[in-house]
Amino acid sequence: MSKIISGKEVSAQVREQVRKECEELKAKGVDPGLAVIIVGDDPASRVYVNNKKKACADVGFVSEEYALPAETTQEELLALIDTLNSKPSVNGILCQLPLPEHLDEKAVINAISPLKDVDAFHPSNVGRIMIGDYHFLPCTPAGVMELIHSAGIEVSGKSCVVIGRSNIVGKPMAMLLLHENGTVTICHSRTKNLTEICREADILVAAVGRPKFVTGDMVKEGAAVLDVGINRDENGKLCGDVDFESVEPKAGFITPVPGGVGPMTIAMLMKNTLKAAKLQNGMD
């Protein structure tokens, strides 16, 4: 029987800390602000943006939304980012991905000032994460680390397996585990003997984007299993990359979906925005 790590509880604690520090900043005349850009009307993106606005209101940040039509040009989007880069009241800039196909995602990410890049996607922030000298961490991997710490799980010396090699989750996740002296293996679609590799993991992070991909026979007895996936199963029900029913009896720790890593992502975005406000005002 495993211990369930509740992202709802841990994210509430993170938000409470951010709320407290936000009040302290306001008392010093700094009002942290996050600008969110959404292009087009993708329904999932709209849900994410609304959740981010709610989180800003919850912790006391100023929230600015820039909802642009789907036919917005590259030039128009880059001009908006340029304006926000030089706007003192905006501490963090977030452009909701994915963008419509005619827009260059890479150019958009590169246009955001590294000091306002609260998603930590800019190449200079990615490089800083690599060498361990960073201001911001990508929100989802940072949230996973927060859950690991909250459960009192020791990373140092442990065998850590990350399934997935995306720039947003898999790669930075591996670096964060490595920074805490984990021995890290990254697995992906071309990995041979995936089941055997996963069975060796003391800490297993699933970020593959396939429903119920990790099954009980892939998990070591007593392992910590962290599920980053958000999918729909064959019945349309929300589920993760981990088959909870078969894995939960074997794992020592496990995150549920929903209510696990998901709430942490937005909580860490709030933490990054607070950090950006401090950096830009010489308080960090």
134 in any annotated domain: no
Residue 52 catalytic?
yes
278 in any annotated domain: no
Catalytic-labelled residue, pool 117, 119, 202, 243: 119
Residue 96 catalytic?
yes
Q: Are residues 239 and 204 in the same domain?
A: yes
Going 241 to 233 to 263 to 13, the CA torsion angle's sign is: negative
Given 113, 148, 177, the domain boundary residue is 113
226 in any annotated domain: yes
pTM: 0.96
Q: Are residues 102 and 148 in the same domain?
A: no
C-beta neighbour count of 97 within 10 angstroms: 16
Q: What is the pLDDT along the chain (284 residues), one digit of tens a residue?
A: 789 999 999 999 999 999 999 999 999 999 999 999 999 999 999 999 999 999 999 999 999 999 999 999 999 999 999 999 999 999 999 999 999 999 999 999 999 999 999 999 999 999 999 999 999 999 999 999 999 999 999 999 999 999 999 999 999 999 999 999 999 999 999 999 999 999 999 999 999 999 999 999 999 999 999 999 999 999 999 999 999 999 999 999 999 999 999 999 999 999 999 999 999 999 97
Cα distances (Å, whole numbers) of residue 208 to 138, 193, 226, 246: 17, 16, 12, 18
Q: Which CATH number is 232's domain given?
A: 3.40.50.720
Q: What is the pLDDT of residue 47?
A: 94
Q: Which CATH number is 50's domain given?
A: 3.40.50.10860
Tally the C-alpha atoms within 13 A of residue 91's C-alpha that lie toward its C-beta. 25
The residue range of the domain holding 48 is 29-113
Q: What is the number of domains present in the chain?
A: 2
Q: What is the pLDDT of residue 284?
A: 79
Q: Are residues 46 and 83 in the same domain?
A: yes
Q: What is the pLDDT of residue 1?
A: 73
Q: What is the pLDDT of residue 109?
A: 98
Residue 82 catalytic?
no
132 in any annotated domain: no
Contact (CB, 8 A) for 258 and 238: yes
Catalytic-labelled residue, pool 96, 117, 212, 243: 96
Q: Are residues 175 and 219 in the same domain?
A: yes
